[in-house]
Amino acid sequence: MRVSRLGCLNKMRNFKGFLSTALVFLIFELCLVRCDMTDGNTEHLKRENSLMKPYQGVGSNPSSQWDFWGSTLVTSSYVRLTPDERSKQGSIWNTVPCYLKDWEMHVHFKIHGSGKKNLHGDGIAVWYTKDKLHPGPVFGNQDQFLGLAIFVDSFRNDLHGMDRSFPYISAMVNNGSVNYDHGKDGRSSELGGCSAEIRNREHDTYLAIRYSKGRLTVMVDVEDKNEWKECIDIGGVRLPTGYFFGASAATGDLSDNHDIISMKLYQLMVEHTPEEENQDWTKIEPSVSLLKSPKDNIDDPTGNFRSTPLTGWKVFLLLLCALLGIVVCGVVGAVVFQKRQERNKRFY
């Protein structure tokens, strides 16, 4: 009987060891899920597509890699797209096309001004489009564009859309046929979005845009916690290579300072199938494969985007619940097994 009991204890120790190993492995995997945004390794930084202090190579001469338009002012500390004045538009554009299939853009920006709550506008847009330096009504850039736009909208135009708070960040992919509806804050064409307190912050505010293997992910770091928070994550996005990165801003009857401190593009090392590698990515038409029309993708009152697939945080919660379930079942099973052994002992 002593041998049987010792064997039982050894089995329990082995089981506990297994659980500990599984827990360590799961935590490691979860760290990979949560830390999937690049840490800014300069090895993958594409300097020809990046805007950084002291902003060398910015101007209209032939050797410049960035050009600007409108009210844009380039200083040694920031690029101000618009001052805190009414009816201003400005933009800055990379003149070197991007031929990366998988990339991640980090935007360090600042929106600030003297206007009180709800008395400021209009916001910043970050672009990856076929055309550059085309002024227009969409945050200082042209409408019916070809490519991707990320809008940081600081003013609510749609007074009926009270289920979301502003400033609001949203994404739009356009093949040149869709108008951006300012009156509805772009709801009819947005792919997803989130609210973010980005105005008049005393600390730095960042936006990360990742495109990899047909998936668009937008993250924000606006809480001074040095960590990314997911805003948009959607698959089925098709973007070509050879387009241009840029940023623009506009003010109307209300105004703000809209500053870009840096735009850093990173190459993502991703394997593609031979068919994907042989495809002419410059001929791809910007598009999104959705189960429903973008105009149906409206935020619910809780702030959750209905059509968003499983994200890193949701995967984390699911795996954590699964692990807890395994641990509970293992502990209960071990207790039941030990009780049976003790009961059997009485019959010897």
Query: Has residue 40 got a pLDDT over 60?
Result: no
Mean pLDDT of 241-262: 96
3-state helix, strand, coil in the chain (%, to 5): 25, 30, 45
Per-residue confidence at 59, pLDDT binned at 50, 70, 90? confident
d(CA 143, CA 181): 10
Residue 209 and residue 109 in contact, taking contact as beta carbons nearer than 8 Å: no
Asked if residue 193 lies in contact with residue 187, where contact means CB atoms within 8 angstroms, the answer is no
pLDDT-derived band at 347, boundaries 50, 70, 90: very low
pLDDT top residue among 191 and 293: 191
Q: Distance (Å, rounded) from C-alpha 57 to C-alpha 68?
A: 11
Name the nearest CA neighbour of 217 among 201, 237, 200. 237
Return the pLDDT at 164. 83
Kindly state the helix (H) or strand (E) to which residue 10 belongs, with its residue range. helix 2-34
pLDDT for residue 337: 67
Which residue segments constitute the domains of the chain, with CATH numbers given? 42-288 (2.60.120.200)
pLDDT of 41 reads: 57
pLDDT tens-digit series, residues 117-150: 777 889 999 999 999 999 999 999 999 999 999 9
Residue 42 has pLDDT above 70, yes or no: no
Return the axis-axis angle of helices 2-34 and 312-345, rounded to nearest 10°.
180
User: Does the pLDDT value for residue 299 go beyond 60?
Assistant: no
pLDDT at 6: 45
pLDDT over 60 (residue 96): yes
With cut-offs at 50, 70 and 90, classify the pLDDT of residue 46.
Answer: very high
Strands of the sheet with 205-212, listed across from one edge: 73-74, 79-82, 257-267, 103-112, 205-212, 215-221, 229-234
Contact residues for 120 (Cβ-Cβ < 8 A; gap 6+): 113, 154, 155, 199, 254, 255, 256
How distant, in Å, are the alpha carbons of 103, 218, 250, 315, 340 from that of 269?
Answer: 9, 18, 35, 23, 55
Poorest-confidence range of 91-100, 141-150, 259-268, 312-321? Answer: 312-321
Question: Mean per-residue pLDDT for 286-307?
Answer: 50
Q: Give me the percent of the chain exceeding a pLDDT of 70.
A: 75
* Whole-number pLDDT of residue 316: 65
Comparing 210 with 295, the larger pLDDT belongs to 210
- Read off the tokens for 111: 């929106």
Structure-block tokens of residue 127: 């672009």
Supply the pTM of this predicted model: 0.73
Cα–Cα distance for residue pair 109/248, rounded to 1 Å: 12
**Res 296: pLDDT:** 44
Q: Which of 294, 221, 234, 252 is nearest to 156 (CA)?
A: 252
Q: Would you state the pLDDT for residue 223?
A: 92
E-state strands within 95-178? 103-112, 123-129, 146-153, 168-175
Highest mean pLDDT among 2-11, 194-203, 240-249: 240-249
Mean pLDDT of the chain: 82
